[in-house]
Amino acid sequence: MKLQIEKAVYGGSCLAHQSEDAEAGKAVFVPFTLPGEIVQAHLMGEKSGFAEASLQQVLTASEDRVQARCTHFGECGGCQYQHANYSAQIKMKTAILQETLERAGLSELPEIQIHTGQPWEYRNRVRMRVAIVDSVFRVGYNRRSSNEFLPIQECPISAPLLWRAAAAIPQIASEDSLAGRWTQRVTEVEFFINEDEKKLQASLFLKKDQAGFKEFCDRMKDLIPELIGAGVFLLPSSGTQRRAQKPRSLSTWGAEGLSYRAADESYWISRGGFFQVNRSLMDELIHIVSSERQGTLAWDLYAGVGLFSRVLTRGFKLVVAVEVAGEDLARSFKGPGRHAVEATTLDFLRSAVIQRERPDLIVMDPPRAGIGAEVCVLLGRIAAPRIVYVSCDPVTLARDLKMLIDVGYTFEELHMVDMFPQTFHLETVVVLRK
């Protein structure tokens, strides 16, 4: 098919129509294209409302098209936008956010404020697969749209220390030693670094345990002096319940986590704990959400390790941080004016409604699934003067915002924070007032 590309859509593809008449022609999604381009595409599959196609040839290229920096772009499932210059990526994401909110029935939107950082080497965490390919031990990711292993030789969106650590795994595996034989049992590895790349944590995943973990860590420390701690985990056995099971911790070496400095605060993150991945925009995100906000009581829901809670204490007499997996939070968020609660946000809000508690500010940074209908109803009953909603998924954000607007909130600020350059993912911060 010859197609005229119209616009970018959430998920990484762009939209065209099989007919010049957009009303009559079926929508076609084509990855690795850009708005305004004319392309030759191959139909891959059709559904009732749309079709999917693969790009065969760019007939008329956009002036925003560039050569991808990574040699694995297109094969690897990690990035979708390396064929676009960075300013074009921002335009596409901003347009996607605007349209997604409008399609949910949200009107009178404030102007989207855009925040960008370093487009490369920004990630502070990677998780990779490990496998033997052609008798050679390799690290890699999944091939795009599949579970097939793709060996890689670079990852330019990751911090240099992360790639150095990843490259050390095959080197150790090739050595005739106890550490080398143990490494060959590894199936996945996760690395996490602090803000200045001086500390590294490693999590290694096996399907079967064996001796040699300490020897591996000692050898890894020789190659990567920044390594301060590591843990080895046993992956669940295959089966229908595997995804619901958590890896079982077997052994640890060194420190159990690391301290991460952001916004003039120090955060303790246990090995495997959640933390924002973008090194260059962390302070900016914290500032948008937390700085220059004042009052008596603030709630930080879905608080994680307290990324926003700590800065909120500068402007509020009491900050209550709520997190269902709250071990790191309880350990570090202590002292006058600080209260950590280990509970689900839903349970916390149900209790707060009964107690008739009403904070001056509510900050929320939920997982990709959003907050959902019952939380929105409870927030409407609590009626805090301001809500700051941080979201990594514009679709679930739009759904939740529509419900919050319906219970009496209005828009005050709208921010697009590009925490995930070279990918279709985007972070949004919305400030609502009652």
The per-residue DSSP string of 112-167 comes to EEEE---SSS-BSEEEEEEEEETTEEEEEEEBTTS--EEE-S--TTB-HHHHHHHH
Name the domain count of the chain.
3
| pLDDT, mean of residues 71-91 | 97
- The pLDDT, as a whole number, for residue 52 is 95
Instruction: Give the mean model confidence (pLDDT) for residues 305-325.
Output: 97
Establish if 94 belongs to a structural domain. Answer: no
Output the pLDDT for position 326: 86
**Same domain assignment for residues 257 and 283:** no
Residue 357, both tokens: 């508690």
Active site residue 14: no
Q: What is the pLDDT of residue 418?
A: 98
Query: Looking at the structure, do residues 213 and 346 belong to the same domain, yes or no?
Result: no
Residue 54 in any domain: the answer is: yes
DSSP annotation string for 363-429:
EE---TT--HHHHHHHHHHH--SEEEEEES-HHHHHHHHHHHHHTT-EEEEEEEE--STTSS--EEE
Same domain assignment for residues 140 and 254:
yes
Q: What is the mean pLDDT of residues 223-234?
A: 97
Per-residue CA distances from 9 to 66, 209, 301 (Å): 19, 44, 30
| Sheet order of strands, 7-8 included | 2-4, 38-46, 50-60, 27-31, 13-17, 7-8
Q: Provide the sign of the torsion angle of the four alpha carbons 428, 429, 433, 434, taken in this order.
A: positive
96 in a domain, yes or no? Answer: no
* Amino acid at position 399, single letter: R
Mean pLDDT of 157-169: 98
The count of other CB atoms within 10 Å of the CB of residue 412 is 13
Residues 150 and 248 occupy one common structural domain: yes
Per-residue pLDDT reduced to its tens digit, 58-69 = 999 999 999 999
The answer to whether position 329 is within a domain reads: yes
Q: Are residues 290 and 324 in the same domain?
A: yes
User: For residues 273 and 241, which has the higher predicted lDDT (pLDDT)?
Assistant: 273
Band of the pLDDT at 316, cuts 50, 70, 90?
Answer: very high
Q: Identify whether 238 is part of a domain.
A: yes
Q: State what percent of residues in the chain have pLDDT above 70.
A: 97
206 and 284 in one domain?
no
pLDDT in tens, 3-45: 999 999 999 999 999 876 555 688 999 999 999 999 999 999 9
The partner residues of 363 in beta bridges, in order of sequence, read 300, 388
Residue 248 sits in the same domain as residue 291: no
Instruction: Please compute the mean of the pLDDT values over residues 416-431 and round it to a whole number.
Output: 98
Query: Please, which residues bridge with residue 185 across strands?
Result: none
Q: What are phi and psi of 62, to 5 degrees?
A: -70, 150
Split at pLDDT 50, 70, 90, the class of 327 is confident
Residue 245's pLDDT is what?
72
Give percent above pLDDT 90 in the chain.
89
Mark 62-72 as b/e (b = at least 16 C-beta within 10 Å). Answer: bebbeebebeb
Mean pLDDT value of segment 139-165: 97
Q: What is the pLDDT, as a whole number, of residue 23?
A: 59
CATH code of 137's domain: 2.40.50.1070
Same domain, 253 and 348: no
Catalytic residue among 70, 155, 376, 392: 392
What CATH code is carried by the domain that includes residue 7? 2.40.50.140
Same domain, 251 and 284: no
Residue 300 has pLDDT above 60, yes or no: yes
- The verdict on 56 and 141 lying in the same domain is no
Query: Tell me, what's the pLDDT at 411?
Result: 97
| Residues 259-277: tens digit of each pLDDT | 999 999 999 999 999 999 9
| Residue 92 forms part of a structural domain | no
How far apart, in whole angstroms, are the C-alpha atoms of residue 424 and residue 32?
A: 11
Please give the residue range of the domain that contains residue 230.
Answer: 125-261
Contact at 8 Å (CB) between 74 and 144? yes
